[in-house]
Amino acid sequence: MALCFSSSSLHFFFLCFFLFLFLSFSSAFASGFNQSNHHPHRSAANHNYREALSKSILFFEGQRSGRLPPNQRLAWRRDSGLTDGADMHVDLVGGYYDAGDNVKFGFPMAFTASMLAWSVIEFGGMMKGELQHAREAVRWATDYLLKATDQPETIYVQVGDANKDHACWERPEDMDTPRTVLKIDSSNPGSDVAAETAAALAAASVVFRGCDPVYSRVLRKRAIQVFAFANKYRGPYSNGLKSFVCPFYCSYSGYQDELLWGAAWLHRATKNPAYLTYIQVNGQTLGADESDNTFGWDNKHVGARILLSKAFLVQNLKSLHDYKGHADNFICSLIPGTSFSQTQYTPGGLLFKMSDSNMQYVTSTSFLLLTYAKYLTFSSKVVSCGDVTVTPPKLRAIAKRQVDYLLGDNPLQMSYMVGYGPRYPQRIHHRGSSLPSVSEHPERIPCSAGFEALTSPAPNPNVLVGAVIGGPDAQDRFPDERSDYAQSEPATYINAPLVGALAYLAHSSGQL
């Protein structure tokens, strides 16, 4: 039916229409004003997950060691560590500095690569324009790990003397501390770092299977060799290298968790039934049912449980049905109010595991929750925590709450991602970020001279965009002091799992 208006009725219609718009706007404005007065935390709907995803990946460019490529976006960084490995007549140029210092620790670097790769595997299809940047972040690590594993039954696991490096505060472009090279081999084993390296290479081979099959095959072949070495010569790497790797990256959880984690990734990457047999035969002795519910660079038990549960839930491998139960136990430990709950939360709602770099557990747990929710949804399953049924939407809501806290929904209204939001840490514990860039100060800044920057109250001159730092304490307090490494230092293994979580949240909120 056609609608017809006379000129007078048309004027009346527009008058009513504009009056309606005005009243609606006024009501919305008043509502927003009242909400801002009564809810000090920023509305989660305001978070730009797409922006946060872009910045979380960009951060890795600030951690690069070696010769930087022409498309380097964080331009205040320059080439560094160009002779790494020369003393041992091996090329170890490249890779990542783990945190705010200038040492390349192989153990956390391999875990970083594993989690970046897993992020791409599970959520890469949601990353759109950021997918290529995410792949580049993976490859910067795996190119280095291929160099570190180039010699049979030998892995170079560290470049730099951490004690001497920490005695200086200098830019990576200036560093003149010893670039000591450490390795493991058949007489000095390190099943933990070796199996983690195998996991990283295997996971990355899945990432590149479709877009660079030749590189993928190289990674997969090397992963098989490295895992065989890890399994054959058993022992924690910090036994033989204790004075160099402890207390920085000691293997506190032992090496059994890495062997299970590595085998799980080899099974995922190769489809070789030998790895499934290995898991079935050795799973229990390698701690498949451990009650420790911490997942990070040292302890892989929970990650292995979630990864292996996929084989049961999605691929219907009945022999791995126990891993669904093991994964459920982890989930139940996170749910407040149940008899299984083992997790502490701050008054503001942040998962709190420990005072030193706590945010790494927030990001890794958020990733696992979203990943497990994906597997459960595929198989139409839920988690039973006694009388409490936990559904995939509940897992996603818990993960989203943690990420939102990180991005600013917290008592301080502080984003713990540098460069995201109106308020974020200004004085992070990071040498390159805290000292003038080479372009601003071309002259070398010697070892001890840099400590003036460490103690300065001034904001860092170089913004390490996307860096997620250790975060607040158990009472949601954060002093923003550069000397406070426990709360103010970024690390690659904090950001790596967050990449996947942000990709999911950006996509599910319609931003990607």
Q: Which residues contact 75 (CB under 8 A, 6 or more apart)?
A: 439
Identify whether 480 is a catalytic site residue. Answer: yes
Q: Distance between CA 166 and CA 34 in Å, rounded? A: 50
Which of 35-53 are b and which e, b meaning 16 or more Cβ less than 10 Å from the residue's Cβ? Answer: eeeeeeebebeebebbbbb
Helix (H, G, I), strand (E, B) or coil at 462: coil
Q: Distance between CA 111 and CA 298 in Å, rounded? A: 9
Q: Distance between CA 238 and CA 190 in Å, rounded? A: 7
Q: What are the DSSP calls for 285-350, one per residue?
A: TTTTT------SSS--HHHHHHHHHHHHHTT--GGGTHHHHHHHHHHHHHSTTSTT---EE-TTS-
> Are the C-beta atoms of residues 196 and 107 closer than 8 Å to each other?
yes
Single out the catalytic residue among 267, 429, 430, 507. 429
CA distances from 468 to 297, 316, 329, 434, 448 (A): 16, 37, 28, 15, 27
Question: Where does 149-212 have alpha helices with state H?
Answer: 162-166, 191-207
Instruction: Give the largest Cα separation in the chain, rounded.
Output: 96
* Residue whose token pair is 């942000």: 502
Q: Which helix (H) or strand (E) holds 418?
A: none
Each as own residue / partner, the long-range contacts of residues 295-299 (CB below 8 Å, 24 or more positions apart, any chain) are 295/361, 295/364, 295/365, 295/368, 296/111, 296/360, 296/361, 296/364, 296/493, 297/107, 297/108, 297/111, 297/112, 297/249, 297/360, 297/493, 298/249, 298/250, 298/251, 298/252, 298/253, 299/252, 299/253, 299/257
Identify whether 430 is a catalytic site residue. Answer: no
> Are the C-beta atoms of residues 265 and 114 closer than 8 Å to each other?
yes
Identify whether 489 is a catalytic site residue. Answer: yes
Q: Distance between CA 217 and CA 214 in Å, rounded? A: 5
> Are the C-beta atoms of residues 390 and 331 closer than 8 Å to each other?
yes
Q: Distance between CA 415 and CA 268 in Å, rounded? A: 36
Q: Distance between CA 389 and CA 367 in Å, rounded? A: 20
Single out the catalytic residue among 84, 161, 480, 507. 480
What DSSP designation does 172 have?
T
Q: Distance between CA 498 and CA 56 in Å, rounded? A: 7
Catalytic residue IDs: 429, 480, 489
